[in-house]
Amino acid sequence: MFEQKNYSRADSSIKQAQQYKYLIKPDDILQVRNLQDRKFLSNESTATGGGTQTGGQTFQVDEEGLVTLPVVGRVNVAGLTRQQAEKKMQKLYTDSLFKNAIIELKITNLQVRVFGEVGAQGNYPLLKEKTSLIDVLGQAGGLNKTADEKTVRIIRGAGHEEIMFDLSNKNTLSDPRLTLQNDDIIVIAQNKRAVRDDKVQSFSTVAQPSLLLLNTALIILSLFR
């Protein structure tokens, strides 16, 4: 019964991960770029070595779920996926300004947090539509020698779900839950050897003053014999 319950919970978690799509909400930062006319909706900057690079303009979704765009004005994007919002903007610009407008939309404020035994802990942006745990661990400098690759945790949904992964098992790489979601927290624990070494080090640090005091007492005692 207990195993069936665990399997059912895991199946539900996997299904949710497969169906997950981020929905735009107030305060999100949207980067919008027109691929048909790169000078429109562009943020032009000088590139290293001369020349220029163009990125889309950024717009913040207001508390009502609206974003104010050039020409077309205020657009309701709250509750839409990135693809849905992109298509909506594309239609608005096609109807009002460009023939067959090609709009590219990115949500630039999505991120995850990495803690524990990696090269560099910190916040990492979700740069791709489907960024995997492996991608972010690579950005974080990979696992340290002290990392326990068999107990990598993702804390998801504001702490409502905790998923454990064994990265030493190649079958884990096909788990759809490895695709990260906004605000995921990734925790890399120490392996058993590192934990044991830390305990020994801690004991040595605590015991050293006592041993020094004992040695001093023995020296003094030997002088009075």
pLDDT recorded at residue 121: 97
pLDDT band at 49 (very low <50, low <70, confident <90, very high): very low
Spatial contact of 148 and 137, defined as CB atoms under 8 Å apart: no
User: Which CATH code is given to the segment(s) 12-44+52-107?
Assistant: 3.30.1950.10
Here the tokens at position 222 are 């030997």
Structure tokens at 11: 């199946």
Q: Where are the domains of the chain?
A: 12-44+52-107, 111-190
pLDDT digits 0-9 by tens, 101-140:
889 999 999 999 999 999 999 999 998 889 999 999 999 9
φ, ψ of residue 164 in degrees (nearest 5): -105, 135
User: Does CATH place domain 111-190 in 3.20.20.100?
Assistant: no
Query: Rounded to an integer, what distance in angstroms lies between the CA atom of residue 179 and that of residue 173?
Result: 10
- Candidates 92, 90, 127, 110; CA nearest to 27 is 110
Q: Find the DSSP H helices in the chain.
A: 2-19, 82-96, 133-139, 192-223
